Structure 1
Amino acid sequence: MLMLLFYINNQRYALACQQVVEVLPLVSLNTLPHAPEYFSGVFNYRGKVIPVLDLCQLMHNKPCSQYLSSRIILVKYWGGNAANSSVVGLMTERVVETLHKSDSQLVDANLQIGAAPYLGKIILDEQGMIQCLRIEYLLSECEQVFRRC
């Protein structure tokens, strides 16, 4: 499985590339009044209005730093209905590489954190741990914001 690797607060995270539509540089976003802090805004992507979440703010209560390698990762989101898919932007820091890992190399930590159901399996390598994210759970928490966009 091909994984996209990025950092939040010097911790490594990964997304399965089959969920990724495109990786974009940071673009100018239109902010919306009364939106939660983790909601960075919206932008026009090929004629569609795309909501963008700041993963750093959502997960660690700190806005993403604007490094040269900070990016918006466009991901597919089904919202529990495969017939009604949409694209959502995830802003994060240091989107730097991809890696290949087989399913057998993903370790289940058998931890369930009620406030963070989006934390999936873990990849172990020579540099430490990489936390995999489960987009379907991450975005389900924010779905009400998307409906307002």
Structure 2
Amino acid sequence: MSELAAKRSAVKPTAQSLFLVFRIGNQRYALQAIEVAEVLPRLPLKPIARAPAWVAGVFAYRGAVVPVIDLSALTFGEPAQARTSTRLVLVNYRPVDSAEAQLLGLILEQATDTLRCDPADFQPYGLDNRQAPYLGPVREDVQGLLQWVRVADLLDDQVRALLFPSPPLSPALLEEQR
């Protein structure tokens, strides 16, 4: 084995992951791309009566009713701005690893960039924000801090029961109510 080949095999490659980067106001956030099922333009939604203000509504998608939350409204109480870069991002929501993934829509502003980095670059930021457990560790780069949003922690038990009833709602019922 050549000296160069020996050096290459001795250096372990870093575990890189892809992240979808978006903004809430002027702050940057990221979702791990492996949790993203699809990125759509903003679509009309059917509101859900008596739901929290940050629950944007539901829509029928490929034979299923998909609930949608506005991450800006959830985090800071202000709805996402209607920009050309505001997207409806479908994520695979799985509150516990043993649960089957369900589609959850997120309204995200400026969801147009990706970043490939080592997840270990994200470090705890020292705050215990129990009101927003989905806001995870941060990563510093030349643009400032980037905060990881953990999809599994987005919904509390009460909202999860509202958005993912058992048995699931039929898309036909959604169409009848329009």
Matches within 5 A, 1:1-149: 1-80=17-96, 82-140=98-156, 142-148=159-165
Q: For 1:16-75, what per-residue CA distance to the aligned partner results, in whole angstroms no more than 9, with x for missing partners?
A: 001110111000111122221111111111111100001111111011110000001111
Task: Determine the structure 1 residue equivalent to 2:176.
Answer: none
Distance 2:156 2:116 in 1: 27
Deviations 1:87-113 (A, max 9, x none): 000111111200001123222223221
Are the equivalent residues in 1 in contact too, given 2:54–2:73 (CA < 8 A)?
yes
CA contact (8 A) 2:95 2:153 kept: no
d(CA) in 2 for partners of 1:73 and 1:41?
A: 14
Gaps of at least 5 residues in structure 2 are: 1-16, 170-178
Give me the TM-score of the superposition, normalised by structure 2: 0.78
Q: Aligned partners of 2:123 and 2:32: how far apart in 1?
A: 15
Q: CA deviation at 1:83?
A: 4.2
TM-score normalised by L of structure 1: 0.92
* Runs of 4+ residues over 3 Å off in structure 1: none
Q: Is the 8 A contact 1:43 1:49 kept in 2?
A: yes
- Residues matched between the structures, number: 149
2:120 & 2:71 partners in 1: Cα distance? 27
Counterpart contact for 1:77–1:139, Cα < 8 Å: no
Structure 1 unmatched ranges of 5 or more: none
Greater fraction of residues in strand: 1
Secondary structure of residue in 1 paired with 2:74: helix
CA separation in 1, counterparts of 2:28 and 2:132? 16
**How far, CA to CA, are the matches of 1:18 and 1:60 in structure 2?**
26
**Greater helix percent: which structure?**
2
Deviating more after overlay: 76-85 vs 40-49: 76-85
Letter in 2 for 1:40: A
- Distance (Å, rounded) in 2 between the aligned partners of 1:85 and 1:103: 22
Cα displacement (A) at 1:81: 5.8
Question: For the pair shown, which has the larger CA radius of gyration, 1 or 2?
Answer: 2
